């Protein structure tokens, strides 16, 4: 589900999840029966997954992201204007303790950080555009736009620079 379409979907409240029934089970009970706890603490969603690997569940013919429903059940409402970041890096995980709500920019940067190490980013910055954005992208196995954004200081900004800006 894209950010835009996710923002348009109104997620049910905890009370609605407890009340809404399908074949005698509350939606909350259906959700609780749809994951297994793994040794690493992740809650593996055992039902349907989206094409991008996130758990999803249908409530009255509307599909919702399963990790957000477990968050609502265990923690409370989804913070407005923020999006969930899976700290465990497992999209199928629905453990609310493995979610942190952050801005879109932070979520994107963390996703990039899972591919590039700080040492690699420092090397990319040192080499700059003269090394060729596309060549470095092939070398590091990332999209050329990612290299361009690093070189131009749009992502992976040094915290000292961010404070000065």
Q: What is the pLDDT of residues 109-141, one digit of tens each?
A: 777 656 787 788 899 999 998 889 999 988 888
Mean per-residue pLDDT over the chain, rounded: 85
pTM for the whole structure: 0.66
Label residue 129 exposed, middle or buried (CB < 10 Å: 0-12, 13-18, 19+): exposed
Residue 147: alpha-carbon gap to chain centroid: 21
**Confidence (pLDDT) at 112:** 61
Q: How many CB atoms lie within 10 A of CB 43?
A: 24
Residue 160: alpha-carbon gap to chain centroid: 26
**Which residue do the tokens 């349907």 mark?**
48
DSSP tag of 139: H
pLDDT at 145 over 90: no
Widest distance between CA atoms in the chain: 65
**Confidence (pLDDT) at 4:** 45
pLDDT at 2 over 60: no
């Amino acid at each position: 589900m894209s950010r835009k379409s996710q923002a348009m979907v109104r997620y049910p409240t905890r009370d609605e999840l407890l009340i809404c029934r399908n074949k005698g089970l509350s939606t909350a009970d259906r959700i609780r029966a749809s994951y297994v706890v793994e040794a690493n603490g992740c809650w593996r969603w055992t039902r349907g997954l989206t094409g991008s690997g996130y758990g999803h569940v249908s409530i009255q013919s509307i599909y919702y992201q399963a990790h957000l429903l477990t968050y609502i059940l265990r923690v409370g409402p989804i913070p407005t204007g923020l999006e969930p970041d899976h700290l465990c890096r497992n999209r199928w995980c629905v453990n609310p303790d493995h979610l942190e709500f952050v801005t879109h920019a932070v979520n994107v940067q963390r996703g990039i950080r899972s591919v590039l190490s700080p040492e690699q980013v420092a090397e990319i910055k040192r080499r700059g555009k003269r090394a060729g954005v596309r060549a470095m992208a092939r070398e590091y196995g990332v999209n050329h736009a990612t290299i361009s954004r690093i070189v131009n200081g749009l992502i992976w900004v040094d915290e000292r620079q961010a404070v000065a800006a």
